[in-house]
Amino acid sequence: MAETSALPTRFATPPALSLRFVPVWRRNLLVWRKLAFASLLGNIADPLFYMLALGYGLGALVGEVGGMPYVAFIGTGMVCQSAMFTASFEGMYSAFSRMHVQRTWEGIINAPIALDDVVLAEWIWSATKAAMSTAAILAVLFALGFGRTWLALWILPLGFLVGLVFGGFGLLMTSLAPGYEFFTYFFTLVITPMLLLSGVYFPVDQLPGWLAATANVLPLKHAIDLARPLMLARAPDAVAQHVVVLLAYAGIAYYAALVLTRRRLLR
């Protein structure tokens, strides 16, 4: 079975981008609307508990961090973390259900929609959900009196971008997954270190030099470097550099996911 493991060049063609992804995206939106409350609650509750418990509990000990109260510091980290989690879940568990368990994608590509349209729709959708959870947590921060500045609204598109990165990686995992258990690797080996090293809970410069340098390659770190100044109504430094890194991660993950999904389903 040489063909099974090799990646024939016919799957490695450029992505066919078209607006045909819209009806597939709307399908996911319609499902979400039915469960919106539970979904948003899930998106908010977990980060909210962390934010409040660590923010006020630990915050009482550490005081201000990075020029803001610790609860706002960790809250901003939680915004980015939540976008990462939401998109990863959507790209993995939800997309895998639609692809493999419910065979939804199979039904869709029997209609005049190409698999490329489906993957694009899932990618954009995972980022959409990331932006929605970003908005929810941002609303909580505003309600607590933090980040009430127009600049902070830039965190919304940032959440979308973080969603593109992790939705892309989620879909990449889905294209390779034999079952749900497979996603544990991603959480253990990628998400957890990312969470601890990217500066969600403490500034990265607290880490020893070599570890801080490692953190610099992590996409979540770049997202947080953009988000924190925005919360303080400041324009972040090196915006272009951070955005380029995030876009590069997003693009590479998406393309790899697309090629491997084609190989998985179009043979």
Partner 1 sequence: MASIVERVLPGRTGATRDRVLSVQGLVKRYGGHDVVRGLSFEIRRGECFGLLGPNGAGKTTTLRCCLGLVEPDDGTIELCGEPVPKAAREARVRVGVVPQADNLDPDFSVTENLVVYGRYFGIDRATLDARIPKLLEFAGLAAKAKAQLRTLSGGMKRRLTLARALVNDPELLILDEPTTGLDPQARHLIWDGLRNLLAQGKTILLTTHFMDEAARLATRLAVIDHGRMIACDAPRALIAEHVEPEVVEVYGDAARAWANAHGRRLSKRLEIAGETAFCYAMDAQPLLADLAARGGVRYLHRPANLEDLFIKLTGRELRD
Binding site for partner 1 (CB under 8 A): 1-4, 10, 23-24, 26-27, 30-31, 34, 102-104, 106-114, 265-267
Shortest distance, CB of residue 175 to partner 1, whole angstroms?
Answer: 16
Report d(CA 169, CA 174) in Å as an integer.
Answer: 9
In this complex, which beta carbon is closest to partner 1, that of residue 144 or of residue 264? Answer: 264
Supply the minimum distance, in Å, between the C-beta of residue 22 and partner 1.
9
Give whichever of 25 and 186 is closer to partner 1, judged by the CB atom. Answer: 25
DSSP for 97-157, please give it. Answer: IIIIIS-HHHHHHHTT--HHHHHHHHHHHHHHHHHHHHHHHHHHHHHTT---SGGGGGHHH
Q: Are 265 and 175 in contact (CB under 8 A)?
A: no
Nearer to partner 1 by Cβ, of 256 and 265: the residue is 265
Please, what is the minimum distance in Å from the beta carbon of residue 186 to partner 1? 25
CB of 102 to partner 1, least distance (A): 6
Nearer to partner 1, 32 or 154 (CB): 32
Q: Which residue number, 90 or 225, has a Cβ lying nearer to partner 1?
A: 90
In terms of phi and psi (left: phi > 0; alpha: psi -120 to 50; beta: otherwise), the region of 51 is alpha
How far apart are CB 3 and partner 1 at their closest, in Å? 5
- DSSP class of residue 197? H
Strand-pairing partners, residue 65, are 68
According to DSSP, residue 265 is labeled: H
